[in-house]
Amino acid sequence: MAAYLAVPTRFKNPVLLASSLVFYAWGGPRYVLLICFEALVSWFCALRIAGSKGSMRRIWLIVELACLLGLLGYFKYWTWILTGTHALAGVPADVPQIVLPIGISFYTFQLISYVVDVYRGTIRAQGAYWKLLLYCSLFHQCIAGPIVRYETVAHEIEKRTVSERDIYEGVRRFSCGLAKKVVLANSCAAVADTLLPIGGDALATQVASGCWLGMLFYAFQIYLDFSAYSDMAIGMGRMIGFHYLENFDHPYQCSSVQDFWRRWHISLSSFFRDYVYIPLGGSRCSQAEYVRNMAVVWFLTGMWHGASWNYILWGLYFLAFLLLERFVIRDRLPKPVGHAAALLVVLVGWVLFRFEDFGEMTSVLAGMIGLNGAGLFNLSVHTAFLQNIFLLAVSALACTGFGSWLRRRLSTVAGGGDVAVRVVGALEMLTPPLLLLISLAALAGASYNPFIYFQF
d(CA 368, CA 380): 16
| 305 in active site | yes
CA distances from 266 to 15, 84, 170, 250, 269 (A): 30, 32, 20, 11, 5
d(CA 452, CA 391): 8
The CA-based angle 294-360-380, given to 5 degrees, is 120
Closest CA to 139 of 9, 27, 249, 264: 27
Identify the sign of the CA torsion 305, 352, 195, 388. positive
Instruction: Give the CA-trace dihedral at 99, 102, 103, 109, to 10 degrees.
Output: -30
d(CA 63, CA 68): 9
Closest CA to 104 of 160, 28, 158, 161: 28
**Catalytic hit among 86, 155, 250, 305:** 305
Longest Cα pair distance anywhere in the chain, in angstroms? Answer: 77
Determine contact, residues 314/349, Cβ cutoff 8 Å: yes
Determine contact, residues 341/302, Cβ cutoff 8 Å: no
Helix, strand, or coil (residue 99): coil
Known catalytic residues are 305
